[in-house]
Structure 1
Amino acid sequence: MIEITARAGAYRKGLLAAAGHLSPEEAAILSDLERHGLQVPQLHDVLCGGHVLVDNPQLYEDWRFSKVSHPRISSHHRNIDKTLYPDIGMRGQVVREKLHGRTAQGTWVQLEKTPAAFGKRKVPSLTDIRHLMDYLVYRVTRSNVGPWGLSRSTERRPMYLSPNLAVPTSLTPPVANSLTLALRRIEADDDATAVSQDLAARFPPPDRTDPASELGQALSGLAGRGLFGNSEVWVSETPSQSTAAILAERGEQPPPWTLWAEGSP
């Protein structure tokens, strides 16, 4: 994947040489991201420091490698109890400094250009100063400084892999009001177009206080948020036995192909 994505896009020099020394731990992280939907074009943002969210809390534990991982201090996701879920760092040829931690629903990960080891009772080193310089670049460009470039996928605008759409989320008042108005407009249009206007006036739909409240109700399987989140629609890959029986009864072999004789009409 690294070799393919390196053919397009701008990277700092040395990416392919570093990929030749990819460690098993680095490969495990990239493989897990690919398993959760990471595509080759998105790998560019990951290698350039993009902030990635994955709704899988197990990855937090899977990426705590006993020999190479170390606790880190960061300002990411401050709503998480860092004493219970400390941020974890790891160094490597490709990831340089991998940093990951927990979110409320899963795991986040980000690659950094310069490792940092801030901590209590520790004198800042030259590496820490370089890390602060990367932070200044972030403040100016609004882009994360990754090992192989800059990425606009920051914590405020992250890359989201395998989102758990069944998790309820709150909406800001302006967004909630806009959604309610849109749903009421859709219902009004349906009243006029589904049947004749006379019948629509005689059988009005239920008068719901908040039509948006029905969106996002949890269903079994992979159902989630959306305008069709509550519809009884599913995909089944199991063949219908009754249909197969009917087709078998009526199945007839087509007549064999024959060439017309010369001179036939």
Structure 2
Amino acid sequence: MERKHPLPFTKRSAHSGAAASDSPEARRTEVLRDRVRLTIEITARAGEYRRGLVAAVGRLSPEEAAVLADLEQRGLQVPQLHDVLCGGHVLVDDPALYEKWRSAKGSHPRLSSHHRDIDKTRYPDIGMRGHVVREKLHGRTATGTWVQLEKTPAAFGGSKMPSVDDLRHLMDYVVYRFTGSNVGPWGLSRMTERRPMYLSPVVAMPTSLTPPVARSLTRALHRIEKADDVTAVSERLAARFPPPDRADLAGELGQALTGRGGRGLFGNSEVWVTQTPSRSASAVLRARHEEVPAAGLWWTEGRR
């Protein structure tokens, strides 16, 4: 394991320029790949990974980028991405992800010991290989989809004879048994199937309030709203422009945030900038520290 030094941002890979101009869909795909590349490079500023991650990111495939982008759209943050790249077991309460990843290019059926309560005949586990994910393995859960990145692909149960990769996979399992950590492409993660990472969990349960509780809660919310009814001008002016009169303030409680509401991609991230500022920014900063000419000082004093 090694601690990576700050990395330069990758604006676009050398081989992607031509494809990006073919069609709007190709351009969107390339933008998505660039976004995922930058996100992975950001994690390497504060995280520890095995050697080779930077080179692998340069060869990130659209299918790999789509998997990581789908997780980010469902709440994955930059610090959590470190565990994903190191083999963390992820649960997403979204069954549609299983079918989306199953139909992706390069996907193939895989045998695994994860989530044995699921009918593997109807919902087989699916693998996909790539430069960054090495082997992405995913399957169904009772309420959604699980996914895990593995360091070494394996083909147990097939018609082929055991390969060197199969033996290496067994060694990874031995490491798991001794350390209690999953062996991912770029490190070890304590996020195992018994202690997984949850994204977009379905934990909300609608319920109704009893009338006395609803009335008491509504009165309390009215008092809070009235106390907050101030402006930067004056309280008297604020009283002339009351907020909308909503009959059921309690009904607004528990409303889910729409879209990408929440802490966002960089919530709780240890992210800092080490790049050289642009020429325009440097010029502005220098201008603020330049001394005012003597003529300007005389003119300013004369106006006072």
Q: TM-score range by the shorter chain?
A: 0.5 to 0.7
TM-score between both structures, scaled by the size of structure 1: 0.64
User: Counterparts of 1:66 and 1:47 in 2: how far apart (Å)?
Assistant: 20
Does 1:219 find its partner at 2:206?
yes
User: Counterparts of 1:149 and 1:121 in 2: how far apart (Å)?
Assistant: 31
Cα 1:154–1:93 change in 2 (3 A) is: same
Does 1:113 find its partner at 2:151?
yes
Aligned partner of 1:254 in structure 2 is none
1:219 CA drift (Å): 1.1
Aligned residue for 2:105, secondary structure, equals coil
* Aligned partners of 1:114 and 1:131 also within 8 Å: yes
User: Counterparts of 2:182 and 2:155 in 1: how far apart (Å)?
Assistant: 18
Number of matched pairs: 185
Which structure 2 segments of 5+ residues have no match?
Answer: 1-38, 222-228, 230-236, 242-304
Whichever structure has more helix as a proportion of its residues is 2
Deviations 1:19-75 (A, max 9, x none): 111111111111111111110001000000000000000000111234310000000
The one of 96, 101, 106 aligned to 1:68: 106
User: Counterparts of 2:239 and 2:197 in 1: how far apart (Å)?
Assistant: 53
Which structure 1 segments of 5+ residues have no match?
Answer: 167-217, 224-230, 236-242, 252-265
The one of 139, 145, 148 aligned to 2:186: 148
Aligned partner of 2:97 in structure 1 is 59
TM-score between both structures, scaled by the size of structure 2: 0.56
Aligned partner of 1:98 in structure 2 is 136
Aligned residue for 1:6, secondary structure, equals helix
- Aligned residue type for 1:219: P
Aligned partner of 2:240 in structure 1 is 250
Note the 1:167-246 alignment, pairs <5 A. Answer: 218-219=205-206
1:129 CA drift (Å): 0.5
Fraction of identical pairs, as percent: 75
Structure 1 moving runs of 4+ over 4 Å? 231-235
Deviations 1:178-236 (A, max 9, x none): xxxxxxxxxxxxxxxxxxxxxxxxxxxxxxxxxxxxxxxx317xx9xxxxxxx86799x
Aligned residue for 2:135, secondary structure, equals strand
Structure 1 vs Structure 2 CA RMSD: 2.7
User: Counterparts of 1:120 and 1:25 in 2: how far apart (Å)?
Assistant: 24
* Aligned partners of 2:63 and 2:104 also within 8 Å: no
User: Counterparts of 1:55 and 1:16 in 2: how far apart (Å)?
Assistant: 31
* Aligned partners of 2:108 and 2:126 also within 8 Å: yes
* Aligned partners of 1:25 and 1:65 also within 8 Å: no
Aligned partner of 1:239 in structure 2 is none
User: Counterparts of 2:132 and 2:107 in 1: how far apart (Å)?
Assistant: 15
Aligned residue for 1:156, secondary structure, equals coil
User: Counterparts of 1:249 and 1:157 in 2: how far apart (Å)?
Assistant: 53
